[in-house]
Amino acid sequence: MKRMLSVDDLARDKRFERIRIEDVVFDPRNANAQRRQGAAFSPKDVDSPDAARSLMHGIFVGEIQALEGAGRTCYDFETGKGSDQIPFELKLDMARQCWDEARHCEISIKLNEHMGSEIGEFAEQTMLFEAACNADPVLRLTGVNRALEGLAIDVFNTMRDFGSMTADPVLYFCEDWMLADEVTHVKMGSDWLRRLTANDKERQKQALDFQRTVDKLFSFGGLRGENEENPIHLARKFRQLAGFSEAEITDLVDVAAEAQAEAEAFAAAASTAATAG
């Protein structure tokens, strides 16, 4: 079997449409809409049902890619102590995560149906799997288990709260169930990062820098943050349970703010250029 699969190797049927994450983040229509609407997950907002359905579909395709990424980590690397190898115990953790992600895919399909959506109604961006393609197992671990699974903590917590606000017990229960798994996945990433780089601080720094890059991309230009205008809020308590220090959480807040400022500046420039044209 081939190792180190690319995004183009992923199996998808004709229902799925792909989009680049950069097209989402820097689309001036998205930035302008966010400024007009503010927090998109308030039950008082008439657009919140569609925003929630879009996010739920994003969760679904993210779970597929998380399953694929964890599975590839089990297979792509030989067992050992070398820099391009991983301990057998880490493979066991990734196998356990595959089981969780497969269950999340099933739950997400049912939740999409529950919310009135169908597979392929919204586009799929593949940045999660791209992070899972890194040839360095430590960078792959931080990019996926620390950054992207960390985002899942924030998203599931937000959706769980939305289920509570809208008195939807199905949404609340499912998101709460998956949230518990995500905390475990991120904790595995935090623990293994420290274990694998205990004697190599330069490699640890490279991994954390890579995580910061992924975190910035997946702040979606202001979708995630700690202000009222950010639809997805950082779940501080759950991130602490998952092994994040207070300093790391504060840095993530700064990263999200940078992403929002850059996206707004890009959208303003694009709008000005369009008007001038």
Please identify every stretch of the chain with a pLDDT value under 70, giving residue numbers as ranges.
1-2, 21-41, 220-222, 267, 271, 274, 277
User: Do the beta carbons of residue 78 and residue 67 sit within 8 Å?
Assistant: no
Q: What is the pLDDT of residue 51?
A: 83
Q: Is residue 101 part of a domain?
A: yes
In a domain, 12, yes or no: no
Residue 35's pLDDT is: 45
Q: Provide the domain count of the chain.
A: 1
In a domain, 8, yes or no: no
Measured at the alpha carbon of residue 52, what is the angle toward residues 160 and 242, in degrees to the nearest 5? 40
Residue 51 counted as domain residue: yes
- Predicted confidence (pLDDT) per residue in 16-50, tens digit: 888 776 666 555 555 444 444 445 567 777 778 88
- 117 φ, ψ to 5°? -110, 170
Verdict on whether the full-model pTM lies above 0.85: no
Rounded to an integer, what distance in angstroms lies between the CA atom of residue 128 and that of residue 15? 19
Domain that holds residue 261: 42-266
> Is residue 258 included in any domain, yes or no?
yes
pLDDT at 37: 44
Intra-chain end-to-end CA distance of the chain, in Å? 51
**Residue 195 belongs to a domain:** yes
Let me know if residue 158 belongs to a domain. yes
The enclosing domain of 184 has a CATH number of 1.20.1260.10
5 inside domain: no
